[in-house]
Amino acid sequence: MSETVRGRAPEELSVVDDPDLAPLPRRRAVFAVVGVALLMFSLDQTSVATALTTLERDLGATLAWTSWTVTIYAVGQILALPLGGRLGEQFGRRRVFLWAVATFTAVSCACAATTDIGQLIACRFVQGLAGGLMLPAANGIVAHAFGRDRDRALALFTSVFPIGAILGPLVGGVILTVWSWRGIFLVNLPIGALLVVAGALLIRDPPRTRVERVDVAGIVLLTLALLATMVAITRVGSIGDGVAGPVGVVVAGVVALAAGWFFLRHARRHADAVVPARLLSGGGLGIMNTTNVLFGAAIIGFSALLPLYAQVRYALLPLAAGVLLTARAIGTIASSGVSVALLRRVGHRPLLLVGLGGIVAGLVLGALPPAGVSPAVWLTAAAAVTGLGMGLAGPAANNAGMHLVRDDVTAVSGLRIMFRQIGGIAAVSVTTAAVTASDDPGLAAAICFVVLAGLLTAAAVAAARLPNHRGRW
């Protein structure tokens, strides 16, 4: 029977019938191993957020510095992501994955044994590095195991990370209630050990391709700019401590500005820049990059900050504060399905605008005093509204960026992750610095929520100018 009669193009036949693309027999077991590893990494990103006030008390540090346990984790991830792909090609994705999981597990034990905030911050940075190396290797392993079915497998695989980020504060709240903050890290020991053994037995090393050049200078400049900015924001909380406070802010601020300027200059001149200059602005990219920063401030920052806000303003217990995000998770899961179903019919722009509006409404509700109900009920409702907005806006924002530059989908996807992580870093750093410096920490956090809502409103107005796309690609 001819290919025309079968109704398939020659290139489709080559993909379907190519034995090299046949799914591997143990692919589901491989998926389970890498999926649990990604879930462990994702849970750790936000579960520590429920313990910020406990860390402040137990380690004798200010809230502005304990918040680094959340933000430095994201910095490590941003730094390691571009390196993960090259190391996987050079040494094998299986080896990189297993070493990353083993390192993450060992450093989790070190986190539990720390006695001061500086040690914990350093260990969390290494944890973030290990997780950042794990992600590209895990994607390559899943793609190889599922062969021609890799599209569906990777779509399911990428959903693990946001689920873990949502469940993290809940898991952290439970562990903190029945155990201690050290238990958040110690639970990784048996899980990580099991993953290393199972991975060594089940995972086959995918074939290696051309080794890509890594923009080491760009990564160093970006990391320096992020760290200096975080130090400047953190030192704002110590602005009243004599001369050292203002001087620290100024010095860190100057370093951040200089590193940022050199980074942008490098991006324009370097052919293989970690952030290509052509993808920073123009053709709607500037609007989408800004929107992704603010979206990250909401989805990552809100997850990290809501338990803290509930504790410092309404004195809710850590478990109750973590449970609030269950409502956000339910809202996100429910509306994201609706968003995916409507994308081809209405396009990404209406869903993005409605979703951003929902996030703004939820942030404002959370900042307002409870109206005739308990704080727990009020914050739960605010979290649910925010979750509905995030679920609508998330898939739409992903598609909007890829439609703007269809020939650079991989690069745009990587930048989306990076910009959202940067937004989360900024949200946590600014809010905890404001809470530390304020005489009314709860009110200071509420004002930060309102400011973020205002910035998201401005982003929505700008996003209304983006071109819309209906139907298939």
- Residue 135 has what pLDDT? 80
pLDDT tens by residue, 140-163 = 787 777 776 665 565 566 667 667
Q: Quick one: pLDDT band at residue 106, thresholds 50, 70, 90?
A: very high
CB crowding 155-180: b at 16 or more within 10 Å, else e: eebeebbbbbbbbbbbbbbbbbeeee
Residue range 22-214 forms a domain whose CATH class is mainly alpha
What DSSP element (H or E) covers 187? Answer: none
* pLDDT for residue 362 is more than 80: yes
pLDDT tens by residue, 284-314 = 778 888 888 888 888 777 777 887 788 888 8
* Mean pLDDT score, 223-227: 83
Is pLDDT larger for residue 314 or for residue 167?
Answer: 314
Residue whose C-alpha is closest to residue 278's, from 160, 404, 150, 145? 404
DSSP string over 51-66:
GHHHHHHHHT--HHHH
* pLDDT for residue 18 is more than 60: no
Is pLDDT larger for residue 229 or for residue 450?
Answer: 450
The third-level CATH classification (topology) of the domain covering 283-473 is Growth Hormone; Chain: A; (1.20.1250)
- Read off the amino acid at residue 66: T
Q: What's the longest Cα–Cα distance across the chain?
A: 85
Helices 117-146, 27-47: axis angle to 10 degrees equals 160
CB 111 within 8 A of CB 120: yes
Per the prediction, the chain carries an average pLDDT of 78
* Mean pLDDT score, 423-452: 85
- Residue 2 has what pLDDT? 39
* pLDDT for residue 102 is more than 90: yes
Say how far apart CA 116 and CA 2 lie, in whole Å. Answer: 71
Say how far apart CA 158 and CA 398 lie, in whole Å. Answer: 12
pTM over 0.75: no
Say how far apart CA 349 and CA 355 lie, in whole Å. Answer: 10
Say how far apart CA 409 and CA 403 lie, in whole Å. Answer: 8
